[in-house]
Amino acid sequence: MIRKTTKLRQLLDSQQLEFLMEAHNGLSARIVEETGFKGIWASGLSISAALGVRDNNEASWTQVLEVLEFMSDATSIPILLDGDTGYGNFNNVRRLVKKLEQRGIAGVCIEDKVFPKTNSFINGTAQPLADIDEFCGKIKAAKDAQLDEDFVVIARIEAFIAGWGLSEALKRAEAYHQAGANGILIHSSLRVPDEILAFKQEWGNRCPVVIVPTKYYTTPTQVFRDYQFSIAIWANQVCRAAITAMQQATKRIFTEENLLNIEEDIVPVSEVFRLQGALELQAAEKRYLPQN
């Protein structure tokens, strides 16, 4: 059986554009897998939103770990954790990597900002960047901590988000690459892909480059292929779709005070059972429980 770490490494290193779909709990992770996606982005935004808190490290790293364990148990495709800034310094990062490996998480992405982080789309230019050397130490500590040689460490560059521009982004990318990162995630909050395309043009294929087209979503996917990006992450659409569906359904039931109209628009309870794997338990009961 191919390890999840190896699967993620193969996605990162493959010659074609690959996709990671966001998930934020066991249920959404399972849906993402059965839809056909080859990997999952465990989004900090979505996990914290699902927990009812802000994307500011309000959920502790061990609480995130608990969520990840459910996601990993529910799936066989690799999960890349959005590890924010690593939940502390190099020491926290290496302990994180150890715990992620124990729970079957295939890789972690850490971003070069400071703890506690703020989401990149909230006043990005006001956000301080991490010291380059300090961040390189985190990358090295992560790589030294991993026991599985295929565990993936992605270094996320926030230079564009913070308004520093291309030369700063390239300087950081080279430093993080030298420190041992398996790939670079270049993030941008523009509604056009200009920053990430300029970066890729200069960076070439020194190492795989990952993107998150949340804001420049109108860009045709073929452009990402033409520029030879490694992975595009659809980072929060499952969470947002769930919010839309939950808001619509609760509003209708609240207003109508009955279930007559909603019933046909939501999945039957049998679909919930199917997604939970109820059939497997029924078969196991036949095998393991005394039969009369």
Give the nearest distance from C-beta 82 to ligand SPV in angstroms.
5
Binding piece for ligand SPV, criterion CB under 6 A, among 13-21, 42-50, 136-144, 283-291: 42-50
Binding piece for ligand SPV, criterion CB under 6 A, among 9-17, 23-31, 38-46, 276-284: 38-46
Nearer to ligand SPV, 234 or 292 (CB): 234
Residue 160 · residue 187 · CB < 8 Å: yes
Q: Which of 146, 214, 219, 230 binds ligand SPV (CB under 6 A)?
A: 214
Residue 195 interacting with Mg ion (CB under 5 A): no
Residue 230 binding target from ligand SPV, Mg ion, none, CB below 5 to 8 Å by type: none
Q: Which of 26, 39, 44, 83 binds Mg ion (CB under 5 A)?
A: 44
Residue 82 interacting with Mg ion (CB under 5 A): yes
Q: How far apart are CA 102 and CA 168, in angstroms?
A: 35
Residue 235 interacting with ligand SPV (CB under 6 A): yes
Give the nearest distance from C-beta 184 to Mg ion in angstroms.
16
Residue 55 annotated as catalytic: yes
Catalytic, out of 13, 55, 131, 265 = 55
Is residue 116 reached through a cis peptide bond, with omega within 30 degrees of 0 on the bond before it?
yes
Q: Which of 23, 50, 80, 212 binds ligand SPV (CB under 6 A)?
A: 212
Q: Which of residues 74-93 bind ligand SPV (CB under 6 A)?
A: 82
Nearer to ligand SPV, 244 or 258 (CB): 244
Phi, psi of 234 (to 5 degrees): -85, 100
Give the nearest distance from C-beta 159 to Mg ion in angstroms.
16
Nearer to ligand SPV, 85 or 182 (CB): 85
Nearer to Mg ion, 44 or 107 (CB): 44
Q: How far apart are CA 232 and CA 211, in angstroms?
A: 5
Binding piece for ligand SPV, criterion CB under 6 A, among 8-16, 37-45, 92-100, 165-173: 37-45
Residues with a known catalytic role: 55
Which positions lie near ligand SPV, rule CB under 6 A? 43-45, 82, 119-120, 212, 214, 235-236
Which positions lie near Mg ion, rule CB under 5 A? 44-45, 82
